Amino acid sequence: MSQTVCLALTGASGMPYGLRLLDCLLAAGCRVQLLYSPAAQVVARQELDFELPSRPAEARAALLARLQPADPELLAVYGREEWFAPVASGSNPPDAMVVCPCSMGTLAAIAQGLAANLIGRAADVVLKEGRKLVLVPRETPFSAIHLENMLRLSRAGAVILPPSPGFYHHPQQVQDLVDFVVARILDQLAVPHALMARWGE
């Protein structure tokens, strides 16, 4: 049976990673529970010229129109205050959660257990239920506060996966760099993909 992945988009630079990951998860047959912050809407507009509507139903329609997955029913979109969403409760947690891109504000809130919105609550649920949480923080350089929050989360069981593409696969375009990072995220989720050749192949 395919797994359920909660994907949260927040206000860090790196929206191409998030939407490419969403595309790949849906293509792999994963059920995706998508969450997004108001700042993510700004970043989507700035980096991709993509309008991510505030209303979840409209956002879902826009994403489906952009990605055109084979099975639209795999995608569910929830608002930040939608406390009756499945991801809000430990009685119905996703198999895994990815925050991509992950802002430093979101990372700090998760590190401190501040479940003030559905993104923070979903991450809190995933950690307490022992499921995989992958955070993709796009910031540089990291301050001591950033690093301490990451260490705290790593000790709690989260995976810290900065979007740091390698170059040994000889990328020819920006999409190759995006796919490198998305491939590493999919590997953490044990989701099959063919985005790039593996080392030694």
Per-residue pLDDT at 2:
83
State mean pLDDT over 171-194. Answer: 97
State mean pLDDT over 86-107. Answer: 97
Q: Rounded to 5 degrees, what angle do the CA atoms 89, 34, 68 make?
A: 145
Lowest mean pLDDT among 85-89, 134-138, 197-201: 197-201
At 11, which amino acid appears?
G
Question: Per-residue pLDDT tens for 146-182?
Answer: 999 999 999 999 999 999 999 998 999 999 999 999 9
Q: Which two tokens stand for residue 18?
A: 């998030």
Which domains, from first to last, does the chain contain?
4-189 (3.40.50.1950)
> What are the CA-CA distances from residue 114 to residues 75, 108, 124, 168 (Å)?
26, 9, 8, 39
| Residues whose CB is less than 8 angstroms from the CB of residue 147 and which lie 6 or more positions away in sequence, other chains included | none
Question: Per-residue pLDDT tens for 8-27?
Answer: 999 999 999 999 999 999 99
Burial (CB count within 10 angstroms: exposed 0-12, middle 13-18, buried 19+), residue 21: buried
Query: Hey, what's the torsion of the CAs at 36, 37, 43, 49, to 10 degrees?
Result: 50
Q: How far apart are CA 157 and CA 58, in angstroms?
A: 34
Check pLDDT > 90 for residue 119. Answer: yes
Total-model pTM: 0.97
Q: Report the DSSP pairing between strands 31-36 and 159-160.
A: unpaired
